[in-house]
Amino acid sequence: MSDTTLDPVTTPPPVDTLTPAQEATARLKELHPNIVSDDTREGYEGLIVYADSITEVAKSLRDELGFNYLSSVTGVDYLEEGKLEVVYHLYNIARGGGPVVLKAQVNRDEPVLPSLTPIFPGADFQEREAFDMYGFNFLGHPDLRRILTWDGFNGHPLRKDWKEPFYEEENKPFGSRWPDGQVFRAEEHNPYGKNVQYPPGWVPTGDEYDVETDVYLGLSYSRDSTPGLKTDKVTVNLGPQHPSTHGVFRMVVTLDGETIVDLKPVMGYLHRNHEQIGERNTFNMNMPYTDRLDYLSSMSNNLGYAITIEKLFDMTVPERAEWIRILMVELTRICNHLWALGFLLNDLGALQTPMLYFYLERELILDFFEATSGARMLCNYMRFGGLAYDLPDEVRGVPTLKFLEELIFNRLPSVLDQGDDLITGNEIVRARAIGVGILTPQDAIAMSTAGPLLRASGVPYDIRRAEPYSYYEHLDFDVAVRYNGDIYDRYLIRIDEMRQSLRILEQVLPHLKRTMGAPIIGDKPQYAMRAPRAGESYGRVENPKGELGYYVTTKRRSGNPERYHVRAPSFINLTALGPMSRGYKIADVVAILGSIDIVLGEVDR
């Protein structure tokens, strides 16, 4: 994709060998000739599957063809055709490469299809989300409730004919704001003066729907049948305001004494309608919104979105821009892991001290981001086909390259060593972390976990190697992997990953020097970009928290995405929280959650 001047390290595969995905697609057509067919719409790929048979196809993909990782499940509304579609992206963990894309289409009025949860437990939350947003009825789903909005919410908000209270027009830019530039406050046009609407004719009765009941009904309550002391189970709510939940996340826990019998995550307390706003926005406008997904790693979110749209628009990225991109996302990874470790140790009882040490170094990185992009945290730095700005001349009064050298060769390695010295061998950390919150590799794959969580369970799957993007195939680094799958390994793997990131950064620095002054964006930057073709695009990057994917569809010459979906790693990683915590003590669940490393902006979007 990039007009690199380097020799490719890996020779491209000869034309006649099929990628694992193509192979599997061809095999599927042989295996299920009447059920699957090619998606022939312009710009689309993958297979259209007869909706009622989706489980059969998924089963043969998993068992016979090695596509055992269901990465993304998303709904799409094709209002004009009267259809709703579920799109599945499956990957082959062992062989890497691109996805097999399955699509199941159902009638808009009666969107019923089987659930994939019996085959891929990782579909659990994603199917609930699709139900919430589109109203799909997944038969056989164990707990099909709303997940991002609340029970009793009116309508399915991502359906194309559903309109929000402050609705103005289908797509931006809105006529009310441009070109006349009038001042327009949506509240003035709403009889309630607020961002609310009620179904026509709805009259409050005073006893509204009890939004809590179903949460508790989903838990296992049964009395203990084992001999000995009979105890009652207690249900405890942790969150949404709780210092250990890293934001507005809530866990409902059933306890037997102090032991966890069942745990259900409850989310949506930070559901900011990212996708719905994204579908009204123009392509460009979504870039700053992606910052706010995983707000600890805005740079890598930018990269994922930029890659997706560059695929859709067939754009190339100049060499210098690619190197700076890698510089930014690897620094982001370090930033994020420092934060995650600070909080994990906080949760383990090392209250704030390690955090304060780590954040000094994190501030240095933020200063660099601020000098480059103008913002410390939410950088909005990447553009389609390149970057917004080149590197600055100086950071904190030091020439940029010197600052980076000092950071990469000196400050960051020493903070890692210091942390390693003080914490890794610490008796308390070891006692609390080793052997707690175990996730087996089989479960990790089945539950679609990603990133450090997956790799700490012994699955060496890293998108930078499995399906390389940008210049990662030219870089020399190892995929960090640990094999015990407990909290301790999830702690260690983050240190490993930071060390690997430093290794990458060391290799990037000479290229930055060499390409000084070269262009950082391919074409002239444009404000109103239009899609050159209709179709879909799925791009994914290895974010610090795991696989971040964007699924975008659009129409030809359209300036807005039709469907804009984010496969959020924190959200899907939470699938494993319940199974991982069962049988441990209530105090451990705090550390287990900390070791997953979630950020609520991404969980709830």
Taking residue 474's Cβ as centre, other Cβ atoms within 10 Å add up to 17
Taking residue 250's Cβ as centre, other Cβ atoms within 10 Å add up to 18
- Min CB(339)–ligand SF4 separation in Å: 16
The site partner of 513 among another protein, ligand SF4, none (C-beta below 5 to 8 Å per kind) is: none
Q: From CA 262, how far away is CA 577, in angstroms rounded? A: 10
Closer residue to ligand SF4 (CB): 69 or 249 = 249
Radius of gyration, CA atoms only, the chain: 24
Q: Pick from 350, 412, 354, 591: which is nearest to 488 by CA? A: 591
Closer residue to ligand SF4 (CB): 61 or 378 = 378
Q: Is 357 in the site for another protein (CB under 8 A)?
A: yes
Q: Is 363 in the site for another protein (CB under 8 A)?
A: yes
- Min CB(273)–ligand SF4 separation in Å: 12
Question: Binding another protein by CB under 8 A: which of 241, 424, 440, 526?
Answer: 241
Q: Is 199 in the site for another protein (CB under 8 A)?
A: yes
DSSP 585: B
Closer residue to another protein (CB): 246 or 511 = 246
- Min CB(195)–another protein separation in Å: 5
Taking residue 408's Cβ as centre, other Cβ atoms within 10 Å add up to 22
User: Are the beta carbons of 261 and 233 closer than 8 angstroms?
Assistant: yes
Question: Binding another protein by CB under 8 A: which of 166, 235, 435, 523?
Answer: 166
> Residue 49 phi/psi, 5° resolution?
-115, 140
- Min CB(327)–ligand SF4 separation in Å: 24
> Residue 154 phi/psi, 5° resolution?
-90, 110
The footprint of another protein on residues 277-316 (CB under 8 A) is: 277, 280, 288-289, 292, 295-296
CB half-sphere exposure, 379, CA atoms < 13 A: 30
Q: From CA 81, how far away is CA 462, in angstroms rounded? A: 38
Q: Is 376 in the site for ligand SF4 (CB under 6 A)?
A: no
- Min CB(250)–another protein separation in Å: 9
| CA distances for 166 relative to 191, 282, 287, 362, 603, angstroms | 11, 18, 22, 39, 24
Closer residue to ligand SF4 (CB): 261 or 299 = 299
Count of residues binding ligand SF4 (CB under 6 A)?
Answer: 2
Q: From CA 503, how far away is CA 328, in angstroms rounded? A: 14
Q: Pick from 108, 138, 120: which is nearest to 61 by CA? A: 120
- Min CB(274)–ligand SF4 separation in Å: 11
Closer residue to another protein (CB): 184 or 483 = 184
Q: From CA 467, how far away is CA 407, in angstroms rounded? A: 29
Question: Binding another protein by CB under 8 A: which of 37, 107, 137, 195?
Answer: 195
Q: Is 242 in the site for another protein (CB under 8 A)?
A: yes
The site partner of 510 among ligand SF4, another protein, none (C-beta below 5 to 8 Å per kind) is: none
The binding track of 251-290 with respect to ligand SF4, each residue x by CB under 6 A or -, is ----------------------------------------
Question: Binding another protein by CB under 8 A: which of 2, 149, 235, 507?
Answer: 149
The site partner of 53 among ligand SF4, another protein, none (C-beta below 5 to 8 Å per kind) is: none
Question: Binding ligand SF4 by CB under 6 A: which of 292, 430, 530, 555?
Answer: 292
Q: Point out the residue whose Cβ comes nearest to ligand SF4.
A: 292
User: Are the beta carbons of 522 and 495 closer than 8 angstroms?
Assistant: no
In 402-516 the beta strands, taken as DSSP E runs, fall at none
Question: Binding another protein by CB under 8 A: which of 50, 359, 389, 409?
Answer: 359
Closer residue to another protein (CB): 193 or 510 = 193
The footprint of another protein on residues 366-395 (CB under 8 A) is: 366, 376-378
Q: From CA 533, how far away is CA 313, in angstroms rounded? A: 8
Q: Is 397 in the site for another protein (CB under 8 A)?
A: no
Q: Choose the binding region for another protein from 84-92, 237-245, 506-514, 589-597 (rule: CB under 8 A).
A: 237-245
The footprint of ligand SF4 on residues 129-148 (CB under 6 A) is: none
In the beta sheet, which residues pair with residue 77?
84
- Min CB(267)–another protein separation in Å: 9
Closer residue to another protein (CB): 240 or 468 = 240
579-585: list long-range contacts, CB under 8 Å, 24+ apart: 579/439, 579/443, 579/447, 580/437, 580/438, 580/439, 581/253, 581/260, 581/263, 581/437, 582/260, 582/261, 582/262, 582/263, 583/259, 583/260, 584/259, 584/260, 584/436, 584/437, 585/258, 585/259, 585/260
Q: Choose the binding region for another protein from 184-192, 214-222, 305-313, 403-411 (rule: CB under 8 A).
A: 184-192
- Token code pair at residue 170: 């289908």
Q: Which amino acid is at 602?
A: E
- Min CB(522)–another protein separation in Å: 27
Q: Is 187 in the site for another protein (CB under 8 A)?
A: yes
Q: Choose the binding region for another protein from 18-26, 149-157, 415-423, 445-453 (rule: CB under 8 A).
A: 149-157
The three state secondary structure string of 374-404 is CCCCCCCCEECCEECCCCCCEECCEEHHHHH
- Residues at the contact surface with ligand SF4, assessed by CB under 6 A: 292, 378
